[in-house]
Every structure is written in structure tokens, then in C-alpha cells.
Amino acid sequence: MSFYEEIIKNTRGTILVEQKTQADAVTDVITFSKDIYAIEIYHSEATAQQFTVNGIELTVPANGYRTKIGGTLGKTVTIPTGVNCIVGRLE
């Protein structure tokens, strides 16, 4: 593997390429322009909240969460009703 390929491999999932909030949601679903391979979620609640990404339910703590994600590839994130949040798609 070349030096360049190694850099790309190690940084995949760390670069914010698209960001949305609860204001962008339609019926508690945020839709991104491309499939989600890595996600960053922050919310304003004092307790952990449930978000669904690629068919996988994530429990996101109050201080936020960033992770690579598997599951069934998709472009949507289901957010809890009434929760203010910032959701980022990472590449």
C-alpha cells in the first residue's frame, strides 16, 4: 500500500462532508445526499437518546458520538421526536 493510500485509509470516516439538524428532518427522518459510512451525532438532551442509522439503533450519550457504521447502507437517520440535534455524515 502506498503512503497516499495509507493516509486515505486512516482518515476515512473523520472528515465532515454534510451536516444537518432537526430542522432538516421530515417526520423525524434526516436524509443525506449519499450513503452513510460514518456518522457524528450531537443532541441537547441531558440523557442518552436513540437514533437509527442504516437500520442500527444507536444510543447516543449527551456529549455526542462519532462512529463508523455498518448495517444496510442508506442515506437516512431517524431522530427522536422533539430532540434538538446536529447530525453529520463523515467520509
Domains of the chain: 3-90 (2.60.120)
Q: Quickly tell me which residue has 454534510 as its cell.
A: 18
pLDDT number for residue 6: 62
> What would the grid cell of residue 89 be?
455524515
pLDDT number for residue 82: 96
> What would the grid cell of residue 48 be?
442518552
In the chain, where do the E strands start and end? 16-21, 29-31, 38-43, 49-53, 56-60, 65-68, 76-78, 85-90
Whole-model pTM: value is 0.86
> Average pLDDT of each block of 10 consecutive residues along the chain (91 residues)?
60 85 98 96 96 96 91 96 97 89
pLDDT number for residue 14: 81
pLDDT number for residue 13: 74
Q: Using alpha carbons, select from 34, 37, 64, 36 the residue that is nearest to residue 49.
A: 64
